[in-house]
Amino acid sequence: MGELLGVRERAERRRAELRARLDRVRAAVAGRDRPRVGAIEWLDPLWPAGHWVPEQITAAGGIPLLAAPGEHTKPATWEAVRAARPDAVLVLPCGFAPERTLREAASPTGLPGVGGAAGRAGRAGAGPRRAVVLQPAGAPRGAGRGGAGAGPARGGGR
């Protein structure tokens, strides 16, 4: 793409920077417990995050539950989220600031049917970007703290 746009060297540098960043993330989570992560792209209707999000979860040390890499998902139910038994649920609606996501979700227990998954602990956290992380009771240490962009050492961005 960089060559087509006449910025081949710039594109190659950026690709190398991004690969190095991913390598640092993978190294930071190597050997840690791998939390089971459900990722929600939209709240109404409830829509699991697919496409590249499962790959991001894996790179950050998690186990994606609701979609496979590259999958084009379909609407789901909170019952399906609960049945997947996530350690953390990422709520990351496109274009929403964390404050809006928290407001629309009201609280982890305010999300329909989430009480048996993440809502039973009643904890939510918003990261500096667009994700809100809900952490169920008994989740592994480090799962669900922070938010997207918080970094793998804090459990965010999974």
Residues 6+ positions from 8 with CB-CB distance below 8 Å:
2
From the list 53, 68, 62, 55, the residue with the least C-alpha distance to 29 is: 62
pLDDT digits (tens, 9 = 90+) for 72-89: 999 999 889 889 999 888
Contact (CB, 8 A) for 152 and 133: no
Confidence of residue 51 (pLDDT cuts 50, 70, 90): very high
pLDDT score of 92 more than 50: yes
Backbone angles phi and psi of 101, in degrees to 5: -60, -45
Which of 102-106, 114-118, 145-149, 153-157 holds the top average pLDDT? 102-106
Type of residue numbered 77: T
Q: What is the pLDDT of residue 117?
A: 44
Nearest to 34 by CA among 122, 130, 152, 132: 152
Q: How confident is the model at residue 98 (pLDDT cuts 50, 70, 90)?
A: confident
The answer to whether 133 and 127 have CB atoms below 8 angstroms apart is yes
Provide the Cα torsion 59, 61, 65, 68; round to 10°. Answer: 20
Query: Which of the residue ranges 35-39, 52-56, 76-80, 146-150 would you say has the lowest mean pLDDT?
Result: 146-150
- Would you say residue 65 has pLDDT above 90? yes
Model confidence, pTM: 0.68
Rounded average pLDDT over 129-151: 44
